[in-house]
Chains A and B, each alone.
Chain A
Amino acid sequence: MRIAYRDAVREAIRDALKADPRVFLMGEDVGRYGGSYAVSKGLLEEFGPQRIRDTPLSESAFVGAGIGAALGGLRPIVEIMTVNFSLLALDQIVNNAATLSHMSGGQLSVPLVIRLATGAGRQLGAQHSHSLEGWYAHIPGLRIAVPATLDDARRMLAAALASPDPVLLFEHLYLYNMEGELTPGLERVDLEHAAIRRAGRDVTLITYGWSLYKCLAAAATLAQEGIDAEVLDLRALRPLDDAAIMASVRRTRRAVIVDEGWRSGSLSAEVATRIVEQAFYDLDAPVARVCTAEVPVPYAKHLEAAALPSPETIAAAVRNLLTSGAGG
């Protein structure tokens, strides 16, 4: 049966609401409107306003309320409409959700799930096109996961709700319309392991989110040129799956990190550093990166496209690595 990404997320939320009376969904326009990206459409009618809770535009208050409700014994799913608006709740996420377990000497835990739409590509301009998941991955105490596939969109939420820690799930806005088939019989996924989405011998493309599909497209192009690229979907940005990254890089001896975030002080920098720290002598070439240009993401279609990673720029970085041995 074909299913769209947004429907997979909705089914996951519906399952969770049915399975556990402590679970509820709260956020801006999740109820009457049906969700800004139509993810929660129909859930208000099915579960009622106590469990599908529309909030005012008070990101800090309703994210903090999610933390408090988690402390109070519930299992909230808080939807922040987009990562861009999460900056208004940064105090609650960074100062409270991430610290309370440690700061209380382990007395408290914050079993909170926050879902956020992330990313660029829809000509929404600088304030609606951020990819800040790498920023959040900087913070000890948080768990960061990125469902890029339909299976993960369908199954990651249950794993996040089962975690006693605060989990941020980043859904790339470009993926909501993606359709395909779920893997039959798949019941459980975790929030800790990367997955090889395409096996290859010559280079590892390390990526996550929407960029996964750009990497797969680049790999298809490269295959016609006789270059066999492996594509590793990180799935979790915190904790990073070092073992999977190193195992792949040791096999292919080359790594290109593809990240829609900016490169300075970034997740891609972290992954590159870990490779250098742990697998330097297994490399045949410097680690390369393809990231978003260091500009606020512009509106005009051609400028936005030029700013973001693309299958072409990814393939070019791989060719460069294989021919000159130099970084992209």
Chain B
Amino acid sequence: MNLSTILDMAAEAFGDRVGVVCGDTRLTYAELRQKAYAAARELQGSGARHLALLDVNSPAAPVAIFAAAYAGIAYVPINYRLTPDEINELVGRVAPAVLVASDETRAQLDARDEIRVISREQFLSLPTDAAAEPPTPPEDPRAVAVQLFTSGTTGKPKAAILRHENLMAYIVGTVEFGCAEEDDASLVSVPPYHIAGISSVLSSTYACRRMVQLESFDAKTWVDAATREQVSNAFVVPTMLSRIVEHLDESAVQLPSLRSLAYGGGKMPQATIANAMRLLPRVDFTNAYGLTETSSTIAVLGPDDHRAAAASPDGHVQRRLCSVGRATGAVEIQIRDDDGRPVAANAAGLVFVRGGQVSGEYLQQGSLLDGEGWFSTRDRGWLDDAGYLFLDGRADDVIVRGGENISPGEIEDVLLEHPSVADAAVVAVPDEQWGEGVGAAVVLKPEARASVDELQALVKSRLRSSRVPQRIVFRDALPYNETGKVLRRVIRQEMAAAS
């Protein structure tokens, strides 16, 4: 079992179909395979244990994923937005390796004996030989296919590992081979070092759907590419969708070929999805929930769920628009209390998941699966009677005030209802009496005003008094990572340092 089977199948069945589009470059699935073969031959016998990529989206990303698979080594895409020190630290952790870099990222690298740097152009123009015997990929299902450094919103990056069997279980379990229509195209704007960047390559290839790559995201480029390439499908994170919605609103551009828009990677503001559904009434919306450690999507709120929830007079059905949907057929989801016991429907706890695609494994710590294969996502949430999963923040973000667990999300939702508040993040602040107390960083709308007293009174009018933020600071903007997750660690440190 090896990921390269995905590309072999696409190249056998739809070899002439264009698989990758990036700027003026177009590669058919047959050409993609030839380039992956050429790169794999380069890797075999090079002594490299990893193939690293330090670059924006380009055809080098899919070529590298499959080349590493054919060569039987792990593919490690690295976040090019990190500082040079952070990048060099991670590069040191993957030696000996071949590393594909752009001119810009190459300039940040320290020279190292065990790292052979190759430019993107060189990597993509290695000589192909259609007459030569294809490389024979190793078939060990337990071999590591991909290693991803997690974003580290709470600490130093950890190396999550995904084995061939995990990623194959995800693809075979959730995608129908060759299901794309001849003209379908998927717009890829998530970076290659994110799990969604990996799964977009694997899913598109297995569906035999043309992937249209954006080097990096901005709303106008996205809309222009969607129009030019007649894009039918796309995946975006919440911050991308809100910028796309603003751009569509201002420019009055229509996207007639767009049929399906999936979103995930962070909490979607209700106003954003409601606006998007209004501006794109014929588009099917899908909310996908997944983690790096689960090889991507584990729960899906599909187009029919969106429409049923939006149209229902029943509050219980309506609120499913705020859920992440139900478990895909490929995994099981369970909610457990703090003692590890499964809880009944509608009761909150920690979200656990089990299935072949769930690796739950880090290079240093090893497997975090329990004896029965369950993985704790460290997300808090609950399942309703029909199995819809509602998320309620990260377990690590819970504020423990005098033994009482307080979830930041409910307080943030109340603060966001204030007409002057544009953004809000609630975190734990040190408190001598209670251990931890509630702190809030608030961003006001331009020209708008709100006092600390006023915001505290608002929370007090809606929630128990223990939820009222004892400290509120005003900020021009909140820190986010590039996929739209608010960096609570940074806010927490700032507030702790200031107190």
To the question of whether A and B form a pair in one complex, the answer is no
| Chain A residues in the interface with B (C-beta under 8 A) | none
